[in-house]
């Protein structure tokens, strides 16, 4: 069985950890939760984060080093508020941070910031990525070096406002018996600064080859898309949001479709479940967060790590989200 999860940072609140191996080290790119005093609402306004710290580890059992603030919202010309979950990709010795923030019209866009080092500091591009929207972007690099960007989150993440391919100030979801809203995928452009193609849906299928439906809230995508590769298969993992599960589906290519395969993590203390999965020094790990250190305050979360185990058939052993150090 996996070892018990352990919290990595205790002096500030960190959430949504995206982990990668760069320069032989494990780097973690979380969001930074703060107590901003904004009341809770359905848009997530109380998640009013404004900067990013970067962390690194030489050993998963060892110290988690804080490299300080990598970028602040005051350094992003187009951004107004709410710097939510970010991720970082590497190409030709440069590091590219992809992050969501609301623009001056309170619409989520995806920004890009560049650094010579994984820990930063990062310099933001003056405008967001053209045609970008919603939240929770992550980057997957395939074996041939192709870089893919995944993103999307419903409710506060505004994905439901693009049901017909363009922005509409309408938060209604699809009908319960219609296919669920999907995460998005695109190749990145050669310069890593824009979409390299028209975005596509990341479709999750049931065992009968049918897309999961809107009312299938224990299995359908809500937010936090992440892709990793294991033994030639592509694993698309994500949060179900209001049912608080971390699920996964398996496919044969980065675009999918992916067939639902099970639950990685059961509900944690708090509301959101947001994660990444990475191999480091021959072992697999799940990075995620909960709100236990803050006494259950859903907007003050703390990132954690736990061993991830595969069964012989390639499925993943379910981890109990309430188990702790």
Query: How many domains does the chain contain in total?
Result: 1
Q: Is 311 a member of any domain? A: no
- Is 56 a domain residue? yes
Region 30-45: mean pLDDT is: 93
Predicted pLDDT of residue 325: 66
Residue 42 — pLDDT band, cuts 50, 70, 90? confident
pLDDT confidence of residue 324: 75
Q: How many CB atoms sit inside 10 A of residue 158's CB?
A: 23
Reference 272, options 96, 136, 138; nearest CA is 136
Mean pLDDT of 235-239: 98
- Virtual torsion, Cα 68, 276, 49, 267, nearest 10 deg: -130
Query: What is the tens place of the pLDDT at every residue in 47-69?
Result: 999 999 999 999 999 999 999 99
Residue 16 is among the residues annotated as catalytic for this protein: yes
**Res 2 pLDDT > 70:** no
Q: Which of 134, 126, 144 is nearest to 171 (CA)?
A: 134
Domain-embedded: residue 109: yes
CATH of the domain at 130: 2.115.10.20
Q: Please confirm whether the linkage preceding 121 is cis (ω < 30° from 0).
A: yes
Q: Token pair of 85, please?
A: 């979950």
- State which residues form the domain around 115: 10-232
Which phi and psi (to 5°) does residue 239 adopt? -95, 145
187, 86, 60, 12 alpha-carbon torsion, rounded to 10°: 180
Neighbours of 107 (CB within 10 A): 16
Q: Is 223 a catalytic residue?
A: yes
Ranking 118-122, 171-175, 301-305 by mean pLDDT, the lowest is: 171-175
272-292 mean pLDDT: 97
The pLDDT score that the predictor gives to residue 179 is 97
Q: Does 204 reside within a domain?
A: yes
Q: Is the pLDDT of residue 234 over 50?
A: yes
Q: Which helix (H) or strand (E) holds 111?
A: strand 108-115
Q: Which of 16, 33, 87, 290 is catalytic?
A: 16
301 domain residue, yes or no: no
> In the prediction, which pLDDT does 302 show?
98
Report the C-alpha dihedral over residues 272, 273, 274, 276, rounded to 10 degrees: 170
Of 87, 119, 223, 290, the catalytic one is 223
User: 147: helix, coil or strand?
Assistant: strand
pLDDT of residue 4: 80
Three-class SS of residue 66? Answer: strand
In a domain, 164, yes or no: yes
Q: What is the pLDDT of residue 164?
A: 84
Decide the pairing of beta strands 258-265 and 204-205: parallel
Residue 290 lies in a domain: no
**pTM of the model as a whole:** 0.97
Q: Is 247 contained in some domain?
A: no
Q: CA–CA separation, 101 vs 198, rounded Å?
A: 21
Instruction: Specify the pLDDT at position 292.
Output: 96
In the 8-state DSSP scheme, what is residue 40? P
* Residue 243 φ/ψ, nearest 5 degrees: -105, 0
């Amino acid at each position: 069985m996996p070892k018990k999860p352990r919290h990595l940072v205790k002096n500030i609140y960190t959430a949504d950890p995206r982990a990668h191996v760069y320069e032989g080290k494990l780097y973690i790119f979380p969001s930074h939760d703060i107590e901003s005093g904004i009341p809770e609402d359905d848009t997530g306004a109380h998640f009013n984060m404004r900067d990013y710290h970067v962390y690194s580890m030489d050993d998963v059992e060892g110290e988690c080093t804080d490299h300080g603030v990598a970028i602040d919202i005051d350094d992003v010309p187009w951004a107004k508020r709410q710097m939510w979950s970010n991720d970082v990709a590497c190409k030709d010795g440069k590091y590219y941070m992809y992050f969501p923030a609301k623009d001056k019209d309170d619409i989520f866009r995806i920004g890009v910031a560049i650094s010579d080092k994984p820990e930063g500091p990062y310099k933001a591009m003056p405008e967001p990525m053209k045609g970008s929207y919603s939240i929770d972007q992550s980057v997957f690099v395939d074996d041939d070096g192709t870089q893919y960007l995944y993103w999307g989150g419903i409710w506060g993440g505004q994905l439901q406002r693009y049901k017909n391919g363009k922005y509409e100030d309408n938060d209604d979801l699809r009908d319960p018996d219609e296919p669920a809203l999907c995460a998005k995928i695109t190749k990145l452009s050669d310069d890593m600064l824009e979409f390299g193609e028209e975005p596509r849906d990341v479709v999750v299928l049931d065992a009968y080859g049918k897309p999961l439906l809107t009312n299938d809230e224990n299995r359908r995508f809500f937010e936090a898309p992440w892709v990793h590769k294991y033994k030639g298969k592509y694993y698309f993992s994500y949060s179900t949001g209001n049912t608080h599960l971390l699920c996964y589906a398996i496919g044969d290519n980065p675009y999918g479709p992916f067939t639902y395969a099970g639950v990685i993590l059961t509900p944690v203390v708090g509301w959101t479940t947001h994660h990444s999965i990475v191999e480091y020094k021959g072992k697999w790990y799940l990075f995620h967060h909960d709100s236990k250190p803050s006494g259950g305050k859903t907007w003050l979360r703390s990132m954690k790590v736990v061993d991830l185990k595969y069964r012989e058939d390639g499925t993943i052993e379910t981890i109990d989200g309430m188990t702790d150090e």
